[in-house]
Chain A
Amino acid sequence: MLIIGELINATRKKVREAIVERDAAFLQDLAVRQAENGADYIDVNVATGRGGEQEAADMEWAVTAIQEAVDKPIAIDTADLKVLTAGLQAHKGRAMINSVSAEAGRLEPFLEVIRAYGGIVVALPIRESIPPTAAERVAVCRTILDGALAAGLNADDLYFDALVLPLSVDTANPGQTLQTIRELKETGVRTVIGLSNISFGLPERDLLNRCFLAMALCAGLDAAILNPLDRGIMATVFAAEALVGSDPMCARYLKAYRKGRLSG
């Protein structure tokens, strides 16, 4: 499974301060530790609320600084085209774009920029609202896929977000997400989730996050946005991948065991 490390996000206070104060060492350390613990992509969100121009400059700075320290591609996490473009310009290699959606007037300009720079895309099946059911989500994914193919992207370059909504708000939410993953897999595309939203508003969030991750992997999940420094989560990744048969001869599971990564 592809792991996107979620920790460099400006909604976290220390990260916001590091961005505002241009504390490159702080972000670099956070990136290196996530990479060492299994992140394939380092998500970077610089949404400090200081305006598009400033955030574009922030993204350029952050991408450059992080790539000096770590040999992993970055997931440029923004809904602002200017910020995305600045990040892609600064990025070495193939970045991930987190994210595009089907909201009116947003898809085409995003796809245009992505075609120009290349990259792996996270696609949210959102139009003017969040579709509640799996069938509706899959239909919106189809629209995005058609747009992306028309713009010259490959289907393999897209990861479709199955949309995780909190269990605490509606106990049908996890089931809809799992069903979305299964239906998307049937159409042959790749899937991703942002994990931690599942446990919002409930105690012992780690427990719910771990269980849901295992269930999502069982449904066919290809990638997740999560905290790779959380040992329990990463242990669950190793165990669940072995259990669903995507870890031949349990090699990764056993390697993780020998490195002491499976025990709390």
Chain B
Amino acid sequence: MKYSWQISSAIQAGEVDRSRELVTRSLREGLAPGEILDKALMPGMEAVGEKFGGGEMFLPEVMLSASAFQAGLEALRPWLKADDASFRGKIVLGTVAGDIHDLGKNLVAAMFTANGFEVIDLGVNVPAERFVAAVEEHRPDLLGLSALLTTTMSRMPEVIRLLQKRGLHGDPCRVIIGGAPVNEEFAASIGADLYAENAIEAVRMVRRLLLRRKRGEAVAKVGAG
């Protein structure tokens, strides 16, 4: 596709204005909005994710790239049709009540954005009720819970219990948790579906989960046919 390389490299270089201009120019020249998303914007952010994982890019650069991606996406959004929205998936995330640490959570949000997910970031000190309301509203594939303190990790099971009570836990919405004091056994003990040690692993695990789900759906379709 024309401009795909330029748009992708503008995103990787964190050039916000250039990304917006190139997307606008592509639209003017009649390129399909869905193609611009799939063949230019997404590959740009994916390359950023890979470079960050490989230690070639660093946090400030990733954040700037995410802004360039967002700028391109905003220029594109009015023209996208529902079935163009080829996001990999949708994640709602936040830091639990009583905890104001946002660094790990922001990094996870940036990495999911960098990997083509739609990210709804609820911020810090988020009560269980707000997490559940956001799941109800946005119907995400994943709910991500972060906690940095041993005193606040105990808020995680509250969220999951409330999610279950409203019948919102389970496909499509799985729960992934993370944060310094949290580990795999803790995740299992509170009924969380996934635990990730860092932002890159989180994305990897979620992509695997969604791929399995997609395959499962395909198999079910074939079976039904």
Contacts and interface: CB of A to CB of B under 8 A. Distances in A.
Nearest to B100: A129
B103 interface: yes
Interface stretch (A197-205, A233-241, A246-254): A197-205
Given A128-B125, A168-B58, A201-B60, A49 B103 contact: no
Interface of B: 55, 58-60, 63, 98, 100, 103, 106-107, 124-125, 149-151, 153, 180-183, 186
A11 interface: yes
Nearest to B183: A49
Chain B facing A: main interface SS:
loop
Nearest to B149: A79
Q: Which of A10, A47, A171, A200 lies at the interface centre, i.e. has the most chain B CB atoms within 10 A of its CB? A: A47
Contact of B106 (A78, A169, A203): A169
Interface of A: 10-11, 47-49, 52, 55, 78-80, 103, 126, 128-130, 166, 168-169, 171, 200-203
B81 to A, nearest CB: 36
B97 to A, nearest CB: 10
Given A129-B124, A166-B59, A168-B58, A79 B150 contact: yes
13 contacts: A47-B150, A47-B180, A49-B186, A55-B150, A78-B150, A80-B150, A80-B151, A166-B59, A168-B59, A169-B106, A171-B60, A201-B59, A201-B107
A49 B59 contact: no
Contacts of B181: 10-11, 47-49
Given A49-B150, A168-B60, 13 more contacts: A11-B181, A47-B149, A47-B150, A49-B181, A52-B151, A78-B150, A79-B149, A80-B151, A126-B100, A128-B125, A169-B59, A169-B63, A202-B60
A203 B183 CA distance: 27
A128 B100 contact: yes
Contacts of A202: 58-60
Contacts of B106: 169
A59 to B, nearest CB: 11
Contacts of B151: 52, 79-80
Contacts of B153: 49
Chain A facing B: main interface SS:
loop
Contacts of A79: 149-151
Contacts of A103: 98
Contacts of B183: 49
A57 B204 CA distance: 37
Contacts of A201: 58-60, 107
A103 B101 CA distance: 13
A129 B125 contact: yes
Nearest to A104: B98
Nearest to B180: A11
Contacts of B59: 166, 168-169, 200-202
Contacts of A47: 149-150, 180-181
A153 B103 CA distance: 33
